[in-house]
């Protein structure tokens, strides 16, 4: 059978200079033009030092109807690959032949305008995603009912709740019906119910015979939909094949936990960015390990460049399967300043209690939102650490299954012994447990 | 290479894939032509983006579309007071308010269109980095959206002409041609500035200033006839000069200056072709640097 996507020698080179300063001022460019001949005389060998390959020499074939999960660490080139396939950016080398209509869903709500009504945004966003007007008109009712926004369809979307906004935005994209669908991490936003709906819809699209390429850090979600996985590492294909075997080798590839992360190249354009993340317990932690019974601290440092009226800094904590365990933001604490931020360097700390996370490796994704549900900056799985059990082997708390490991209050009563209530000895400080007494008084 | 995927049998799989790829993505050379077929398939997007710009422009303003009338009208009143009355600038025998308004009309369209279009790509970075479509549609939509204001102001001009009892003349057939020329030159300049703005943010600061200067070298508040004959050639380099003078000639039944129109048209097309080429060369890097 013929592949629907065939890539050969695909590469994408970025100038690191371009990363650090994405745009030049005219003066720099003029100065560069004057200096260029001089540089040429001195030798142009420096060129290679200031460029990096985000993708290098990729070759793969995707068959029609295949659902491919693209996995890899932060900065492995996953998003760059999707951007090339959706023609947003050009490759530096190589070629890709695409034998079908491509629809890309790299963001939920692409092209939405807050001032326009739901109805108007369906048409606008649909057109931007590549739908014909007649096609949108035909699917209009279906989109509206999928999004469950019937009563608000003529209200400007700026008055929508964030859930409604997301549902409508996804509904438009979900009805694109392309032959090839590219999806980037969009399932990471929204509540659980919405995510389930998206996953179901993605599965349905796939059932229709479409080819789907899906980037996700959530391996559990990928497992539900995809059958093939493409593992990228540092811009090169590490492995491609059946999902389960790729995930297996991906997980065992020894992504070494570091407990600390520092941003290498600050993005020049964004109003704010996270410059570092550190996990500490007591002093600095060794080998990125956190004891299960003690609280530990997550320290974020971030830079605000311009005055921001809305700046919410938070973290997402996910486990080794990519499942998000919790997300928290500094604004969760009411005592902390409002969301407005003046320029400067900030340090935020949050304490995670002991006896919360089970024994596993965890990944921290720091992020900054500049509007509700609008990511300004994110560093996917920037930093990782392992929670280890320090209870002696064989005791009650060693090696139990579960995503979290809370130590709960228990009380046990027995009528035979008399009116005494037997509490576990380790928890005597909770001997005031109220309903136990009540129970006994009956 | 991939073993498992071939097992899924979807409905579309039964259909055979096209013989040739729909798209072949590869690094584009320096001399890549404007992809007209691609552009044509996205024509509806031009309509929707224009419609969005028009719809959103006066949202949450108290006066709404009245702004399209207020701006040229007040500019005309002030120019009439200072240049017409106080400075006594000649106006080729046309009542000065009418003279100024006829010049301000295309000029305001041009300057608003170039400003909007020049900032359009940078303002649409969220689209450029997230979805593909021919980028040229963004500055083009900003220019076309300006036509609505232009049309509204034209109604005011018609009213003014009725008030001054200006007769309808046959030379008015030139107006559609002149409007098209104005749109094309605005598109040419707008496209170029929008592309440069992505790479050099200086453009954002230089643009309002440049447009202000440009206004003074264009015969808007003064007639081209007061420029000494030996400097007329300099005026002809500015395509807006020929176009705006011709607006007046065709509205008020004056002799059309064909050499000037020819030069302006030629320069307009050179500018358009040049900026389309530059735009095309810079387009591929927009998503990486915007």
State the pLDDT at residue B32: 59
Q: Are residues A276 and A363 in the same domain?
A: yes
Q: How many CA atoms lie within 13 A of A213 on its CB side?
A: 27
Sign of the Cα torsion A438, A439, A441, A442 reads: positive
In a domain, A108, yes or no: no
- Do A124 and B52 count as a contact with CB atoms less than 8 A apart? yes
Q: How far is CA A123 from CA A142, A279, B142, in A?
A: 13, 46, 18
Tokens of A272: 């704010």
State the pLDDT at residue A396: 57
State the pLDDT at residue A118: 93
Distance CA A144, CA A174 (A): 12
Q: How far is B225 from chain A (nearest CA, A)?
A: 38
CA-based nearest residue to B49, from B116, B130, B149:
B116
In a domain, A144, yes or no: no
Q: How far is B2 from chain A (nearest CA, A)?
A: 6
Distance CA B116, CA B194 (A): 9
In a domain, A114, yes or no: no
State the pLDDT at residue A442: 37
The closest CB to that of B25, out of A87, A99, A179, belongs to A87
Least confident of A194-203, B116-125, B169-178: A194-203
State the pLDDT at residue A416: 66
Q: Are residues A339 and A421 in the same domain?
A: no
The closest CB to that of A65, out of B5, B133, B202, belongs to B5
Q: Are residues A27 and A49 in the same domain?
A: yes
Q: Give mean pLDDT, residues B56-64.
A: 81
> For testing the chain B interface, which of A66, A80, A110, A185 should be mutated: the one with the most B CBs within 10 Å?
A66
Tokens of A368: 């900054």
> For testing the chain A interface, which of B8, B42, B194 should be mutated: the one with the most A CBs within 10 Å?
B8
Task: Determine contact, residues B99/B92, Cβ cutoff 8 Å.
Answer: yes
CATH number for the domain harbouring residue A67: 3.40.50.300
Confidence check: pLDDT of B196 > 90? yes
Map residue A288 onto helix, strand or coil.
coil
Q: How far is A354 from chain B (nearest CA, A)?
A: 41
| Domain endpoint, select from A215, A232, A251 | A251
Which chain A positions have a beta carbon within 8 Å of B131's beta carbon? 86, 88, 104, 106, 110-111, 128-130
Which chain B positions have a beta carbon within 8 Å of A83's beta carbon? 129, 287
Distance CA A343, CA A330 (A): 17
Q: What is the DSSP string of B21-59?
A: -SEEE----TTPPP-HHHHHHTHHHHHHHHHHHHHHHTT
Which chain B positions have a beta carbon within 8 Å of A16's beta carbon? none
Q: Are residues A228 and A315 in the same domain?
A: no
* Helices (H), ranges, chain B: 11-14, 36-41, 43-57, 67-79, 96-118, 120-123, 125-128, 137-163, 174-199, 202-216, 232-237, 239-252, 258-283, 286-289
Distance CA A294, CA A395 (A): 17
Distance CA A379, CA A301 (A): 13
- Do A24 and B28 count as a contact with CB atoms less than 8 A apart? no
Which chain A positions have a beta carbon within 8 Å of B46's beta carbon? none
CATH number for the domain harbouring residue A329: 2.70.50.60
- Do B131 and A104 count as a contact with CB atoms less than 8 A apart? yes
Q: Are residues A237 and A368 in the same domain?
A: no
Per-residue tens of pLDDT for chain A, all 442 residues: 789 999 999 999 887 654 444 455 666 666 666 655 554 444 444 444 577 888 999 999 999 988 899 988 767 888 889 999 999 988 999 999 999 888 888 877 788 898 899 999 999 999 998 888 999 999 999 999 988 888 999 999 989 887 788 888 888 887 888 888 888 876 555 555 666 677 677 677 667 778 889 887 667 677 777 889 999 988 899 999 998 888 878 876 755 456 777 777 777 677 889 988 988 887 655 567 788 888 999 999 999 988 888 888 999 998 877 788 999 998 888 887 678 888 999 999 999 998 899 888 888 889 998 887 778 888 887 888 888 877 655 555 556 678 888 888 888 888 765 555 555 554 444 444 444 444 443 3
The closest CB to that of B56, out of A2, A87, A113, belongs to A113
Q: Are residues A320 and A427 in the same domain?
A: no
Higher pLDDT, A383 or B4: A383
The closest CB to that of A87, out of B9, B23, B199, belongs to B23
Under DSSP, the state recorded for A243 is: H
In a domain, A163, yes or no: no
State the pLDDT at residue A391: 62
Q: Are residues A288 and A368 in the same domain?
A: yes
Distance CA A227, CA B3 (A): 10
For B198-227, what is each residue's pLDDT tens digit? 988 889 899 999 999 999 999 998 998 888
Which chain B positions have a beta carbon within 8 Å of A130's beta carbon? 42, 131, 133
State the pLDDT at residue A372: 78
Q: Structural domain tally of chain A?
A: 3
Q: How far is A372 from chain B (nearest CA, A)?
A: 16
State the pLDDT at residue B284: 84
> For testing the chain A interface, which of B4, B6, B24 should be mutated: the one with the most A CBs within 10 Å?
B4
Q: Are residues A425 and A280 in the same domain?
A: no
Q: Give mean pLDDT, residues B263-285.
A: 92
Q: Are residues A432 and A319 in the same domain?
A: no
- Do B25 and A85 count as a contact with CB atoms less than 8 A apart? yes
> For testing the chain A interface, which of B18, B47, B130 should be mutated: the one with the most A CBs within 10 Å?
B130
> For testing the chain B interface, which of A28, A61, A64 should be mutated: the one with the most B CBs within 10 Å?
A64
Which chain B positions have a beta carbon within 8 Å of A100's beta carbon? 17-18, 22
Range of the structural domain that residue A417 is part of: 412-441
Which chain B positions have a beta carbon within 8 Å of A113's beta carbon? 52, 56
> For testing the chain B interface, which of A28, A51, A88 should be mutated: the one with the most B CBs within 10 Å?
A88
| Domain endpoint, select from A251, A275, A303 | A251
Distance CA A147, CA A126 (A): 14
- Do B17 and A104 count as a contact with CB atoms less than 8 A apart? no
Beta carbons within 10 angstroms of residue A272's beta carbon? 22
Instruction: Give the residue on B whose Cα is nearest the Cα of A134.
Output: B44
Q: Which residue has the tokens 């000029």?
A: B107
In a domain, A270, yes or no: yes
The closest CB to that of B12, out of A14, A210, A228, belongs to A210
In a domain, A19, yes or no: yes
Task: Determine contact, residues A111/B141, Cβ cutoff 8 Å.
Answer: no
The closest CB to that of B4, out of A94, A127, A228, belongs to A228
Q: Are residues A432 and A328 in the same domain?
A: no
- Do A87 and B201 count as a contact with CB atoms less than 8 A apart? no
Q: Are residues A210 and A285 in the same domain?
A: no
- Do A89 and B202 count as a contact with CB atoms less than 8 A apart? no
Q: How far is B106 from chain A (nearest CA, A)?
A: 29
Confidence check: pLDDT of B287 > 90? no
- Do B25 and A90 count as a contact with CB atoms less than 8 A apart? yes
Q: Are residues A265 and A294 in the same domain?
A: yes
């Amino acid at each position: 059978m013929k592949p629907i996507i065939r890539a050969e020698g695909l590469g994408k080179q970025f100038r690191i200079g371009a990363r650090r300063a994405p745009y030049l001022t005219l003066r720099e460019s003029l100065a560069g033009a004057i200096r260029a001949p001089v540089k040429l005389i001195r030798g142009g060998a420096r060129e290679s030092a200031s460029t990096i390959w985000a993708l290098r020499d990729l070759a793969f074939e995707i068959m029609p109807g295949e659902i491919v999960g693209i996995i890899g660490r932060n900065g492995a080139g996953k998003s760059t690959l999707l951007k090339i396939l959706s023609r947003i950016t050009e490759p530096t080398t190589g070629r890709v032949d695409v034998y079908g209509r491509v629809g890309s869903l790299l963001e939920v709500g692409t092209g939405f305008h807050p001032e326009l009504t739901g109805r108007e945004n369906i048409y606008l966003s649909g057109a931007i995603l590549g739908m014909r007007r007649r096609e949108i008109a035909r699917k209009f009712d279906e989109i509206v009912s999928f999004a469950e926004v019937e009563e608000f369809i003529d209200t400007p979307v700026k008055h929508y709740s964030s859930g409604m906004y997301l549902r409508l935005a996804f509904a438009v994209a979900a009805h694109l019906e392309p032959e090839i669908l590219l999806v980037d991490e969009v399932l990471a936003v929204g509540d659980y119910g919405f995510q389930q709906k998206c996953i179901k819809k993605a599965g349905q699209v796939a059932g229709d015979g479409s080819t789907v390429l899906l980037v996700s850090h959530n391996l559990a979600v990928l497992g539900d939909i995809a059958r093939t996985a493409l593992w990228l590492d540092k811009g090169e294909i590490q492995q491609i094949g059946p999902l389960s075997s790729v995930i297996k080798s991906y997980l065992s590839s020894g992504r070494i936990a570091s407990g600390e992360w520092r941003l290498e190249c600050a993005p020049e354009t964004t109003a704010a960015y996270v410059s570092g993340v550190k996990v500490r317990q007591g002093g600095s932690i060794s080998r990125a390990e956190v004891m299960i019974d003690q609280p530990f601290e997550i320290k974020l440092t971030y830079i605000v460049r311009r005055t921001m009226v809305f700046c919410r800094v938070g973290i997402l904590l996910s486990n080794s399967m990519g499942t998000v365990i919790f997300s928290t933001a500094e604004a969760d604490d009411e005592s902390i300043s409002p969301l407005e931020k003046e320029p400067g360097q900030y340090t935020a700390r949050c304490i995670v209690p002991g006896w919360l996370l089970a024994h596993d490796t965890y990944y921290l994704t720091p992020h900054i939102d500049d509007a509700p549900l609008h990511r300004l900056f994110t560093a996917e799985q920037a930093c990782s650490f392992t929670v280890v059990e320090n209870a002696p082997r064989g005791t009650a708390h060693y090696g139990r299954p579960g995503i979290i490991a809370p130590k709960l209050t228990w009380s046990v009563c027995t009528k035979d012994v008399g009116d005494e209530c037997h509490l576990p000895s380790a928890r005597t400080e909770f001997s005031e447990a109220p309903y136990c007494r009540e129970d006994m008084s009956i | 290479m991939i073993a498992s995927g071939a097992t899924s049998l979807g409905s579309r799989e039964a259909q055979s894939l096209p013989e040739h790829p729909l798209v072949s993505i590869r690094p584009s050379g320096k001399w890549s032509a404007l992809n007209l077929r691609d552009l044509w398939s996205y024509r509806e997007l031009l309509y929707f983006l224009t419609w969005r710009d028009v719809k959103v422009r006066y949202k949450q303003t108290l006066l709404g579309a009245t702004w399209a009338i207020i701006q040229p009208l007040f500019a005309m009143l002030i120019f009439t007071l200072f240049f017409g009355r106080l400075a006594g600038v000649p106006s080729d025998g046309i009542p000065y308010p009418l003279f100024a308004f006829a010049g301000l009309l295309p000029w305001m369209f041009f300057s608003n269109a170039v400003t909007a279009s020049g900032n359009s790509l940078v303002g649409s970075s969220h689209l450029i980095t997230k979805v593909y479509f021919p980028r040229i549609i963004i500055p083009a939509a900003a220019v076309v959206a300006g036509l609505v204001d232009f049309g509204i102001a034209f109604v005011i001009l018609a009213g003014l002409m009725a008030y001054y009892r200006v007769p309808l003349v046959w030379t008015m057939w030139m107006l559609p041609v002149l409007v098209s020329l104005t749109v094309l030159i605005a598109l040419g300049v707008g496209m170029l500035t929008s592309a440069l703005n992505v790479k050099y943010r200086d453009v954002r600061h230089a643009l309002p200033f440049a447009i202000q200067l440009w206004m003074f070298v264009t015969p808007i508040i003064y007639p081209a006839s007061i420029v000494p004959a030996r400097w007329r050639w300099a005026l002809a380099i500015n395509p807006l000069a020929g176009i705006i003078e011709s607006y007046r000639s065709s509205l008020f039944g004056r002799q059309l200056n064909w050499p000037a129109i020819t030069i302006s048209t030629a320069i307009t097309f050179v500018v358009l072709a040049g900026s389309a080429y530059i735009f095309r060369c810079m387009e591929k890097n927009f998503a990486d640097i915007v």
